[in-house]
């Protein structure tokens, strides 16, 4: 069952006509935000059902759902690897991509998707195995970005990286051991930023496929940033350069 919960995630799914049924907490008091969702569901001809809070809590697996869950139509599932090149061919500007190598925390993936959407990333690419996919928690943390940002789960990340290179995309990987500062690197052309997993960073093979490794300068005592924070830093530096 594919679900979305939380006000922002459910609203985004409704606007994409991706909801088959909407479930509200039967004890939830009326408020403007929930009324807006009900009106939107009515316009989209989505069935609205009142359910016990205990059922919603169980479906949300302990996450805060704000009294509303949406049962999603399967068409919003992650697209397949072979569609990626078609997306690139249809762009009228240099590709701007984010690759996440093995991020397993849904909160981190959701935050990365939100940042990716904010800077106008064309697609987010993740491996299918040993990484989190598009879960309800990811959708909630992404605050609507999960429905608006193309999301690709690929079976062979190394092969995908090679395909991107052959298509002229420059692969820039973030690695703390690099001697090159991200603020000194040209990020304006066809670009895929490659970020590693929590703690471990990029896998060896992923790192070897990168055209260049860069670091985020650290002025304090901590040695690294959370992957979602580091992703935000790198994405916004790329956006700053690309808007010149």
Q: What is the CATH number of the domain that holds 60?
A: 3.30.1330.30
The tokens describing 225, both together, are: 């940033």
Is residue 82 pLDDT above 70, yes or no?
no
* Rounded-to-integer distance, Cα 68 and Cα 37, Å: 9
Relative to beta strand 47-51, strand 19-25 is parallel
146-168 confidence digits (pLDDT tens) = 888 999 999 899 999 999 999 99
Place of tokens 């991020």: 103
Q: Under 8 Å CB-to-CB from 6, ≥6 apart: which residues? A: 64, 65, 66, 68, 139, 140, 143
CATH code: domain of residue 106: 3.40.1280.10
In this structure, the answer to whether residues 49 and 129 fall within a common structural domain is no
pTM exceeding 0.85? no
- According to DSSP, the residues that pair with 68 across neighbouring strands are 24
Distances (CA, A) of 104 to 109, 180, 240: 8, 27, 28
In this structure, the answer to whether residues 35 and 93 fall within a common structural domain is no
Relative to beta strand 19-25, strand 68-72 is antiparallel
In this structure, the answer to whether residues 182 and 66 fall within a common structural domain is no
Boundary of a domain, candidates 48, 76, 104: 76
The tokens describing 46, both together, are: 């989505």
What's the domain count of the chain?
2
Strands (E), the chain: 3-5, 19-25, 47-51, 68-72, 96-100, 123-127, 151-154, 170-174, 191-195, 212-214
pLDDT value, residue 152? 92
In this structure, the answer to whether residues 27 and 104 fall within a common structural domain is no
- The separation between CA 71 and the C-alpha centre of its own chain, rounded to angstroms, equals 20
Is residue 76 pLDDT above 60, yes or no?
no
pLDDT value, residue 15? 84
In this structure, the answer to whether residues 112 and 43 fall within a common structural domain is no
Q: Under 8 Å CB-to-CB from 172, ≥6 apart: which residues? A: 182, 185, 187, 191, 192, 193, 194, 210, 211, 212, 213, 214
How would you list the strands of the sheet with 212-214, edge to edge? 151-154, 123-127, 96-100, 191-195, 170-174, 212-214
In this structure, the answer to whether residues 121 and 14 fall within a common structural domain is no
Residue 125: Cβ within 10 Å count:
22
pLDDT value, residue 13? 84
In this structure, the answer to whether residues 39 and 146 fall within a common structural domain is no
pLDDT value, residue 227? 95
The tokens describing 215, both together, are: 């670091």
8-36 confidence digits (pLDDT tens) = 888 888 888 888 889 988 887 878 888 88
202-235 confidence digits (pLDDT tens) = 999 999 999 999 999 999 888 889 999 999 999 9
In this structure, the answer to whether residues 102 and 37 fall within a common structural domain is no
Task: Output 244 or 129, whichever has higher pLDDT.
Answer: 129
pLDDT value, residue 77? 46
Which of 7-16, 59-68, 176-185, 186-195 has the highest mean predicted lDDT (pLDDT)? 186-195
DSSP 216: -
119: helix, strand or coil: helix
Residue 224: Cβ within 10 Å count:
16
In this structure, the answer to whether residues 236 and 191 fall within a common structural domain is yes
Structural domain of 209:
81-242
Task: Please name which of 156, 3, 164 lies closest in space to residue 87, comparing C-alpha atoms.
Answer: 164
In this structure, the answer to whether residues 8 and 115 fall within a common structural domain is no
**Mean pLDDT on 61-84:** 73
86-142 confidence digits (pLDDT tens) = 889 899 999 999 999 999 999 999 999 999 999 999 999 999 999 998 888 898 899
Boundary of a domain, candidates 24, 58, 76: 76
In this structure, the answer to whether residues 65 and 158 fall within a common structural domain is no
Boundary of a domain, candidates 76, 95, 114: 76
pLDDT band at 81 (very low <50, low <70, confident <90, very high): low
């Amino acid at each position: 069952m594919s679900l979305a919960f939380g006000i922002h995630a459910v609203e985004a799914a409704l606007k994409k006509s991706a909801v088959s049924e909407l479930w509200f907490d039967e004890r939830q008091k009326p408020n403007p935000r929930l009324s807006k969702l009900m009106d939107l569901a009515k316009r989209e001809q989505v069935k609205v059902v009142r359910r016990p809070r205990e059922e919603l809590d169980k479906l949300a697996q302990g996450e805060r759902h704000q009294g509303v869950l949406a049962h999603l139509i399967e068409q919003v599932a992650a697209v397949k690897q072979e569609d990626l090149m078609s997306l690139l061919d249809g762009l009228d500007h240099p590709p701007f991509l984010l690759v996440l190598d093995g991020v397993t925390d849904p909160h981190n993936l959701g935050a990365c998707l939100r940042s990716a959407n904010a800077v106008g990333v064309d697609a987010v690419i993740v491996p299918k195995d040993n990484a989190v996919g598009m879960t309800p928690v990811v959708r909630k943390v992404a605050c609507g970005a999960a429905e608006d940002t193309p999301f690709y789960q690929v079976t062979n990340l190394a092969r995908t990286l090679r395909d991107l290179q052959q298509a002229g995309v420059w692969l820039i990987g973030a690695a703390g051991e690099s001697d090159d500062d991200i603020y000194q690197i040209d990020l304006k052309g066809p670009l895929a930023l490659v970020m590693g997993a929590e703690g471990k960073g990029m896998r060896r093979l992923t790192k070897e496929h990168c055209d260049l490794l860069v670091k985020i300068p650290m002025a304090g005592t901590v040695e690294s940033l959370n992957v979602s924070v580091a992703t935000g830093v790198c994405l916004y530096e790329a956006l700053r350069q690309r808007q010149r």
